Amino acid sequence: MAKGAPSFVCQNCGATYNRWQGKCEACGEWNTLVEETASGAAAVPPNLRPRRKGRTFTLESLAGDSHDAPRTPSGMTELDRVTGGGFVRGSVLLLGGDPGIGKSTLLIQAASLMARAKNRAVYISGEEAIAQVRLRAERLGLADAPVQLAAETSVEDIIATLSQGVKPALVVIDSIQTMWTDTVDSAPGTVTQVRASAQALIRFAKTSGATLILVGHVTKDGQIAGPRVVEHMVDAVMSFEGEGSQQFRILRAVKNRFGPTDEIGVFEMTGLGLREVHNPSELFLSERDLGTPGTAVFAGIEGTRPVLVELQALVAPTSLGTPRRAVVGWDQQRLSMVLAVLEAHCGVKLSSHDVYLNVAGGLRIQEPAADLAAAAALVSSLTNAPLPADAVYFGEISLSGAVRPVAQMPARLKEAAKLGFKRAILPDMSRGDGTADTALTLNAVSSLTHLVADIAAKGVGKAGNSPRLRRQDG
């Protein structure tokens, strides 16, 4: 490419082209190419750049003497659960999520708690004025927390300011799309700017030992907008999810260099900010319709924590040529597989029925262990036979129709017993795996055919046998 020639950069994935085109071939997105002039170091051909002699540095051993506690707990257990036990010094986190989901609220709460614990916490907003941030803090009852606030967008100014005085323990940048650096001339929000700004801020975090949290916007389909490249530069990517209409918010780690990626943090958005939910099962089961056909309780595991959640299915005759299959909170492919197994091995004909499956409470399940609960809910809806209200279901279904064991069965049973359930329908595996000493009645099923026959034959639940669930109102 000629010197100073314009280049077209995909705002979704960062791929560069020297001509405009409608579709980015790298990521398949349409209309994402934007002209950006290459500038700074990249525009100067390598052979014209001044040669610099390398500086020598001392190499360190792995067993260095760093006495500082490696992690600083944020003071929010649900947040710490997702990060892996607190913020690692010098690490960089990217927090993504839909607009209005509560990213700024979560971070001002975390920054306030850090500041109250006598750490220097800085919150830099590129989107809101200081007065707006203050108003929110007041509403959250955090106005007295010694957080240092600024409404700034220039990366150079921010780094110069942060380098003065005590080293900050936590720096929040809300959001990375609003930041800009002098070193490149593209407009704020373009891939080049976002990448250069993130690079400069990350360098500051690594040298100062501050934990840096970057807020990133999310596109319609849930990707962190623009800087896919930033995802590779940071140590952890977290996403904050939830249904707009519901109060539950789930924080999930998508990538984490210093901790697990399968843990979730559960919050509830209240009038006074985000409240941590330490017992999500009670929350997800709080609005159950007991004894309705088509619902089954799945005993799942999210990271290390058992979570009970209701699966709701609706199977209804279709009026269209191609029946609909819609699923919320679970994998569409997985649903297709369960439907295929039901058709092929259990004689359940669904080709003239619409199928809807929903995970209650806005949770998104990723475990295959939900297969059995989904199948039970589907068959229950189809045959109009309610499942017993005091039963939980878990097990993976194989293509042959066999029900396979899943991980952490004792933990699932323990949680179910704690919440007042009386029996579990689970894979056949009675070889001393710790499931023996449970208070629940265990109904082991080795194949899906047996379960379907059971539901269809005597599916009507026994009345008055429902579990003692603590209902939460409001």
271 binds ligand TYD (CB under 6 A): yes
User: Residue 139: which of ligand TYD, Mg ion, none does it interact with, CB under 5 to 8 A by kind?
Assistant: ligand TYD
**Shortest distance, position 242 Cβ to Mg ion, whole Å:** 14
380 binds Mg ion (CB under 5 A): no
Strand-pair category, 6-10 with 33-37: antiparallel
Is the backbone of residue 428 left (phi > 0), alpha (psi -120 to 50) or beta? beta
x-or-dash string of contact with Mg ion, 18-37, rule CB under 5 A: --------------------
DSSP H helices in 140-288? 155-162, 191-208, 228-233, 280-284
User: Residue 86: which of ligand TYD, Mg ion, none does it interact with, CB under 5 to 8 A by kind?
Assistant: none
146 binds ligand TYD (CB under 6 A): no
Query: In the set 15, 34, 79, 101, which binds ligand TYD (CB under 6 A)?
Result: 101
User: Residue 391: which of Mg ion, ligand TYD, none does it interact with, CB under 5 to 8 A by kind?
Assistant: none
| Start-to-end Cα distance in the chain | 61
User: Residue 272: which of ligand TYD, Mg ion, none does it interact with, CB under 5 to 8 A by kind?
Assistant: ligand TYD
Piece in contact with ligand TYD (CB under 6 A), picked from 78-86, 134-142, 197-205, 333-341: 134-142
Secondary structure of residue 453 in the 3-state scheme: helix
DSSP run (H or E) holding 445: strand 441-445
The answer for residues whose C-beta is within 8 angstroms of residue 388's C-beta and 6 or more apart is: 423, 461, 462, 465
Task: Please identify, using beta-carbon distances, which residue of 221 and 437 lies nearer to ligand TYD.
Answer: 221
- The Cα–Cα gap between 292 and 151 comes to 52
272 binds ligand TYD (CB under 6 A): yes
104 binds Mg ion (CB under 5 A): yes
**Shortest distance, position 216 Cβ to Mg ion, whole Å:** 11
- The Cα–Cα gap between 55 and 46 comes to 19
**Shortest distance, position 109 Cβ to Mg ion, whole Å:** 13
- The Cα–Cα gap between 425 and 374 comes to 12
DSSP run (H or E) holding 416: helix 409-418
105 binds Mg ion (CB under 5 A): no
109 binds ligand TYD (CB under 6 A): no
- The Cα–Cα gap between 342 and 144 comes to 59
177 binds ligand TYD (CB under 6 A): no
Query: In the set 103, 228, 288, 422, which binds ligand TYD (CB under 6 A)?
Result: 103
Query: In the set 28, 40, 70, 100, which binds ligand TYD (CB under 6 A)?
Result: 100
Cis peptide preceding 175, ω within 30 of 0? yes
The answer for residues whose C-beta is within 8 angstroms of residue 222's C-beta and 6 or more apart is: 239
Query: Which single residue brings its beta carbon nearest to Mg ion?
Result: 104
Kindly list the residues in this chain that would bind ligand TYD in the complex (CB under 6 A).
Answer: 97, 99-105, 136, 139-140, 269, 271-273
Kindly list the residues in this chain that would bind Mg ion in the complex (CB under 5 A).
Answer: 104
